[in-house]
Structure 1
Amino acid sequence: MKYLVLFIVLVIAVGVWRSKREPAQPARTPPAAPPKPQDMVACAHCGLHLPYSDAVVQRGVAYCSAEHLRAGPALRP
C-alpha cells in the first residue's frame, strides 16, 4: 500500500514539474532580407514608369512594350 501512495506522489510531482517548465522555443530564423530597390524608367512613348528590368530598351531609350518600341517616341510639345 505504501508503494502505491509513493507512486501516486511521484506521478503528481512529475506532473507539477512538467507543467512548470518553459515550453520549448522553436529556433528563430532571421527574417528574409527585403528585395533590393530597382531602377525605374519612363516609357518614351506613353510615359509609364516601370522597372528597368521589365522595359524594352533600344539604343538607350526605354519602352514599356514592343508595340510602343515600334511606334517610337511620342512627339511632345
Structure 2
Amino acid sequence: MKYLVLLGVLALAYALWRQQRRSPPPTHRASPPPPAAPLDMVACAHCGVHLPRDEAITIDARHYCCAEHQQRDAR
C-alpha cells in the first residue's frame, strides 16, 4: 500500500513539474503589414518594356524607359 501512495505522489510531482516547464500559449501575434498599393505601369514607346509611371521619362504623352530610347524615338 505504501508503494502505491509513493507512486501517486511521484506521478503528481511529475505532472506538476511538466506543467511548470510548458511555455504559455502565444497571446497575440502581430498581423502582417498590409500589401503595398499597386503601381501605375506604362510601356516604353521604343522597346515596350513596362515600368512604373514615376520612373518613366514622359515626353508628349509617350513614355520611355531611358533617355537613349527617348532620343532614338525622336529621330
Query: Partner of 1:41: helix, strand, or coil?
Result: strand
More helix by share: 2
* Mapping for residues 55-66 of structure 1, pairs under 5 Å: 55-66=56-67
Query: How many positions carry a matched residue from both structures?
Result: 65
CA distance in structure 2 between the aligned counterparts of 1:38 and 1:16, rounded to whole angstroms: 53
Of all paired residues, the percent bearing the same amino acid is 39
TM-score between the two structures when normalised by the length of structure 1: 0.60
Q: Is the 8 A contact 1:44 1:73 kept in 2?
A: no
Question: Does the C-alpha gap of structure 1 residues 17 and 40 become closer, same or farther in structure 2, counting only changes over 3 Å?
Answer: closer
Alignment deviations for residues 14-53 of structure 1 (CA, whole Å, 9 cap, x no partner): 424425x662315311111111111111111111122212
Q: TM-score when scaled to structure 2?
A: 0.61
Structure 2 alignment gaps of length 5 or more: 1-8
Question: 1 CA distance for matches of 2:45 and 2:74?
Answer: 5
CA RMSD after TM alignment? 2.9
